[in-house]
Amino acid sequence: MNNLPVSLNSDPLEIRKTLTSNKEQLPTTEPKFKEVDSQTLPQPSQEIAKTPPLKRKSFAKILVILLAFILLTFGGTLGYYYFAVYDQERFAREVLGFFKEIENEGSVLSNQTVKDNYDYQGAVEILETRKVFFQEQKEKISKIRPPYFGPYKSLISDFSEAFGIFVEASDESKDAAEFMFKLIKLKSSLDPKPSSFSQQTPTIAEIQTIYNEQVPKAKRIGDELFAENWPKSLETSMEELKTSWTKTKTALDTILIYVNSFDPGQPFETSELNQPPTGQVALAIDQVASFVRLLDDKINQADANSILTSPFSEDILKERVGNKAEKIQKQIDEINKKYGESVY
């Protein structure tokens, strides 16, 4: 308490004087402020100052909506043009070009013919060519993309199905021609030609040689032939022929034994072989002759020309393809009429 400049007991007037005197003795200093460059001070953004936040958001929203509307309108127009115009013309161009190509090549194939009614080998070759052609066309048509919309969307699948049927028909007819060709070979083995002999009047030895070669050959051809399932495309049944063949094999054995019973050195003119046979041998010869006649009937019922043309006749095509052929032709005519001039 003694350290105080004035005593608490002092006179108030003295105290005021003392305080006043002390105040006058204190050093006086002026506050100094740091100078700051006015350029360094943050300035208010001009965009913020000009555009309030609410108006700026509304403007961006309107801009996005307008852009989306333009894109949708443009995209819709472009999509309509693609699906309704470009895609249809593209399809028409490819289909009409394909159809024109098969018309040209098909006309060449349809003009191919066989030499005669017994040219089954020629029929086999032609049918194989047709089969390959239809397979190639089926592969080509499958590469054409159908339009996404419109009445011709199923045209490619109809085309492909029709070509598949044509391939099957060609295959079946080819099998039938091969079967009939084997029948011709069987008939030839049962009926040796005069050219098989070295002279007009053969010797017994020559006759025996021919029969020993031909009879086993005929039996082998017949057994292999009738062991197969004959083609269903043949309009004639082979059951009767197959039953007759069983009897004919036994008859052939009887005939071969009879021919080999003669002395090969004996002259033919004076031998019993030159006489009409009797008994079992006569029945055996009649059986072989009956079988050969039945063979001729079957061959005439399914000649090479009929096998070549029947699978593609109007009635058969209508039965197998149904109304698809008419539908395809109708749509091709419509496409040609509508787009023919623009795509060529």
Q: pTM for this structure?
A: 0.66
Give the pair of three-digit tokens for residue 101: 């190509």
pLDDT at 93: 86
pLDDT at 63: 61
What is the C-alpha separation between 141 and 145, in angstroms, rounded? 9
Residues 6+ apart with CB under 8 A from 30: none
Give the pair of three-digit tokens for residue 177: 């021609």
Cα 219 → chain centroid: 43
Give the pair of three-digit tokens for residue 1: 């308490």
What is the C-alpha separation between 177 and 231, in angstroms, rounded? 9
Give 231's DSSP letter. -
Q: Where are the alpha helices (DSSP H) in 26-154?
A: 46-50, 53-81, 87-110, 120-142
What is the C-alpha separation between 215 and 287, in angstroms, rounded? 14
pLDDT at 284: 95
pLDDT at 301: 86
pLDDT at 62: 65
Dihedral, 171, 174, 179, 180 alpha carbons, nearest 10: 150
Q: Where are the domains of the chain?
A: 77-178+308-339, 180-304
pLDDT at 50: 53
Spell out the per-residue pLDDT of the chain, length 344, in tens: 444 444 444 444 454 444 445 444 445 445 454 554 445 445 544 444 455 555 556 666 666 555 554 545 444 444 444 444 567 788 888 888 888 888 888 777 778 889 999 999 999 999 999 999 999 999 999 898 888 777 788 888 888 998 998 899 899 899 999 999 999 999 999 876 555 555 567 789 988 999 999 999 999 999 999 998 878 777 567 888 999 999 999 999 999 999 999 999 888 888 888 888 889 999 999 999 999 999 999 888 889 998 888 777 667 666 777 777 788 888 888 888 887 765 54
Neighbours of 111 (CB within 10 A): 7
Residue 128: Cβ-neighbour burial (10 angstroms; 0-12, 13-18, 19+): middle
pLDDT at 289: 94
Q: Give the CA count within 13 Å in the CB-facing half-sphere of 192.
A: 18
Neighbours of 213 (CB within 10 A): 13
Burial annotation 296-310 (CB, 10 A radius, 16+ → b, else e): eebbeebbbebbbeb
CA distances from 60 to 68, 72, 138, 309 (A): 12, 18, 57, 76
Residue 187 is which amino acid? Answer: K
